[in-house]
Structure 1
């Protein structure tokens, strides 16, 4: 081994140190200037992009960055910030961003409503710029064709309000949080309290516009059915930048009925929850009954207890609802006085914990969240009813942990009628309900964060015997980095498969093939995006398919030798 002299060693180490130093401010400014110059040259000159570009030196930079961050965990003093924010004002601004980012090898994050639970749409471990879509939010409702052309930056509240402006008997099946952005919500499948009647959001999408990796604006016809299929349930950020969706509106009654009933453990909650699980997925499709379980202070000496909340939307009048509940779910003891008849639009206020009588409908046009908090979410799917003993064990565990809330959303109805391969969203037939685990807190600090996150992880772990297995299914719109992170290196396919199978089951491999075809350089990527298929990934995919068919010999010659000797099968 050759040994360097002390003088040469010092010189070598000095070079290493210099090369490892971060870029100077001058170099950073030069890179920004070059990128901005590229943006200007590649955008439509009739729609100047300069007004949409914000650097950290701009006084509006911080307020723009803060405006759509919903999870305070992704907004700390140590969180990496983008070096530029582009608030696209025109489609050409999106096209320029894609083209110039690739030309200068820059990492791009795409933000819509900001409700990404893990902040993956606006936070990165590497230097990045932010493409914010909130200005592209036009909504064109056509009642004659029962459709709406909605740009990705619109919020669900805005969509609902604009539909109701044109018709009192039309709606759209999507989420009940009005500040959620359309682009992320729908591209990840979307769901709401009409899914038992009309399926998830993407089941009611008939067209889309996307900017692909080449900067082209494509619709369903020009992008092809494979790419259209991929962006209706797998998250659009893996394949391009969603510009708009064309939605098929659904019919709703002029008056719907909502109710909320709360019961504690002491007031027979166990029996009600046990019966709910048999009724909710099998009752009339017009009725959706969500169950919320949480720990509260009981009436006896301040001891902790479990409260079960049943909150429902019925696409009909209260008299019909009472008759149906008396027949199918008498254990709840629903009374006429607990029912509220209202318009479908106003029912959304009820579901967002607002006073229907005192709250103006225009609040649905508000784009800011009512409050900000630190949060962690996880998800599960349940295929078999849980015994009373099982529920009592869950109560005990929740009381022991003291924190953590579980939301149970029943399936059945239309959800059970659509094949799991119709869209990338595979969690349809065979599931009784979906669980969302919630942990919310308002104090900052690592110790506090660790406490709440570990609590929700422990509750999730406790639920293992009761939920889906092989894989343990999860919902992509409830993004959970505990399932795995992709570093987009040589092991990208293998890292992606860890979380990808949980989110997409058997649809994962088709998504990988589409991704590899439309974005072979893996430009559109994030911590849990669909990976491209490298050579080693292709071998793995072929191997998995062969294993399912028990045809291993062509891939592993040694198996042939062992088989001949009677050592296999």
Structure 2
């Protein structure tokens, strides 16, 4: 089922959900207050559509506005727990009344699966589980499941300027969502993924038990680090390993266009970037820009100005990244490994690691690190896809990709290439569920802005465009592989009701996890055989 069909089914089931909602949510709320150890405290964290603050609570953590429209089904009840026992009560009552549950942390799910579904559901919003405890002497931290990367990075920086966590780039992303899908960032080539650096975890399973690594066992601990934790339970917290970084690191940006030998530079980048020393990471951001007028920010296609006959477009290639060392050393490295790019010291900026986190979250180096604590961000409606590239794309094929991109207006789409190699290549593809390791040159992320309305012709055109681009690059990717944190319902979905076969789920599961999908199914069959923790692309248990 493609995304458009999925959204249409969502719309068609709203009427049924509304009929069921009154009785369902009243029984559910009664259950919460009856079985909660502290009925008064849980009543303070319950929101229904009758509450004035319901909409603001729901929308606060929606980062893809494609799922902020009136057509998106809303939860019968939102619970924002402050205590672990409240989470246990929500699980118990959802099972008792056969109500689906969605678990939201940072709210960056690309397909809205952490806060929307067709069936009547309760939203468990973990945003108040955001405490971070850093032990800088042991180089570890306990991070609650609702914390964002910005909250983690800020807390680490308060204790040390030479410790970091190999997490993602954007500060509002939730720690749990990131780790659950693997989680890459600027330190990936030196230290691997976020999930590679998790030492312990605490979760509540489908039976309401609070488990840590020892009590859950190594199979379940393996599964939640890159296999989609929401398939197996509700994460309460993670114990993560912190890694060493220099006091001064280097960030850099170099811009080139098609007319400045851009295609040849991208072609060379494909084999140079994955083979750089582990201390260097070099990404590529490719955007359509106007050549004859100002390139501003556009929220949706409706905001775009009409194109006149005189308007001309080209592509801008932004070579961006970081280096764990001084700028002078990085410039010498680039002169040796990638002289064609022409990197000079003026392209670089020496900063602390926390300042680097600010820069990559679109703040300034001199801004206060407290800005990283902001859980809101620039949001747009969009559709995204991903692939892992395991052989260089030839120049003529790159030129074909450029033709696809130039069909879109400036700011309406972008392509991001993230180099692998280094430590990523050394870790076994079965060490955690994330399998895209040795042999992967880089990951390709493609995004198109939509109107946020599934019935709008502009949205249909945007979806057709990005699917066409995805198919065009498929011959150069590893079996149309995909990254779980850029989840994509076009790859396939589970049955809404009743069991989903292994064969059906493999359509998307093998693209995210390769052979690791089989082990994930086995783990699911043991820890959640009734499939309580389920969504459109959750791991299904094996059928008897």
Under a length normalisation based on structure 1, what TM-score does the superposition of the two structures give? 0.87
Q: CA deviation at 1:440?
A: 2.1
Give the counterpart of 2:124 among 113, 128, 131. Answer: 131
* Other-structure match for 1:16: none
CA distance in 2, matches of 1:26, 1:314: 57
Instruction: Confirm whether residue 351 of structure 1 aligns to residue 344 of structure 2.
Output: no
Aligned 8 A contact 2:382 2:452 in 1: no
* Other-structure match for 1:243: 236
SS at match of 1:258: strand
Instruction: Confirm whether residue 497 of structure 1 aligns to residue 506 of structure 2.
Output: yes
- What whole-Å deviation, never above 9, does each CA across 1:455-481 have from its counterpart, x for those lacking one? 111111111222222xx2100000100
* Other-structure match for 1:459: 469
Q: Which one has a bigger Cα radius of gyration? A: 1
Stretch moving more, 490-499 or 233-242 = 490-499
SS at match of 2:387: strand
SS at match of 1:325: helix
* Other-structure match for 2:423: 414
**Distance of aligned partners of 1:47 and 1:316 in 2 relative to their CA distance in 1, 3 Å threshold:** farther
Instruction: Confirm whether residue 164 of structure 1 aligns to residue 157 of structure 2.
Output: yes
Structure 2 gap ranges (5+): 1-12, 294-309
CA distance in 1, matches of 2:62, 2:146: 14
* Other-structure match for 1:372: 379
Q: CA deviation at 1:54?
A: 1.0
* Other-structure match for 2:47: 54
Instruction: Confirm whether residue 257 of structure 1 aligns to residue 250 of structure 2.
Output: yes
CA distance in 2, matches of 1:86, 1:302: 50
CA distance in 1, matches of 2:483, 2:44: 37
* Other-structure match for 1:527: 536
Q: CA deviation at 1:158?
A: 0.5
Aligned 8 A contact 2:492 2:508 in 1: yes
Matches within 5 A, 1:111-260: 111-260=104-253
SS at match of 2:41: coil
Instruction: Confirm whether residue 384 of structure 1 aligns to residue 394 of structure 2.
Output: no
Instruction: Confirm whether residue 341 of structure 1 aligns to residue 350 of structure 2.
Output: yes
Matches within 5 A, 1:322-337: 322-337=331-346
SS at match of 2:133: strand
Matches within 5 A, 1:9-158: 28-45=21-38, 48-158=41-151
**Distance of aligned partners of 1:477 and 1:26 in 2 relative to their CA distance in 1, 3 Å threshold:** closer
CA distance in 2, matches of 1:265, 1:217: 55
CA distance in 2, matches of 1:190, 1:264: 30
**Distance of aligned partners of 1:449 and 1:288 in 2 relative to their CA distance in 1, 3 Å threshold:** same
* Other-structure match for 2:306: none
Aligned 8 A contact 2:20 2:120 in 1: no
* Other-structure match for 1:555: none
Q: CA deviation at 1:505?
A: 0.4
CA distance in 2, matches of 1:27, 1:527: 21
Aligned 8 A contact 1:383 1:432 in 2: yes
- What whole-Å deviation, never above 9, does each CA across 1:38-90 have from its counterpart, x for those lacking one? 21233332982111111111111111001011111111112111010000111
* Other-structure match for 1:566: none
Structure 1 gap ranges (5+): 1-19, 536-569
* Other-structure match for 1:360: 368
CA distance in 2, matches of 1:473, 1:23: 36
Q: CA deviation at 1:353?
A: 2.5
**Distance of aligned partners of 1:440 and 1:401 in 2 relative to their CA distance in 1, 3 Å threshold:** closer
SS at match of 1:513: helix
CA distance in 1, matches of 2:532, 2:280: 43
RCO higher in structure (CA 8 A, sep ≥6):
2
* Other-structure match for 2:307: none
Q: RMSD between aligned alpha carbons?
A: 2.0
**Distance of aligned partners of 1:47 and 1:290 in 2 relative to their CA distance in 1, 3 Å threshold:** farther
Aligned 8 A contact 1:40 1:48 in 2: no
SS at match of 1:244: strand
- What whole-Å deviation, never above 9, does each CA across 1:172-199 have from its counterpart, x for those lacking one? 0111110011111111111101100000
Under a length normalisation based on structure 2, what TM-score does the superposition of the two structures give? 0.91
Aligned 8 A contact 1:47 1:90 in 2: no
Aligned 8 A contact 1:122 1:130 in 2: yes
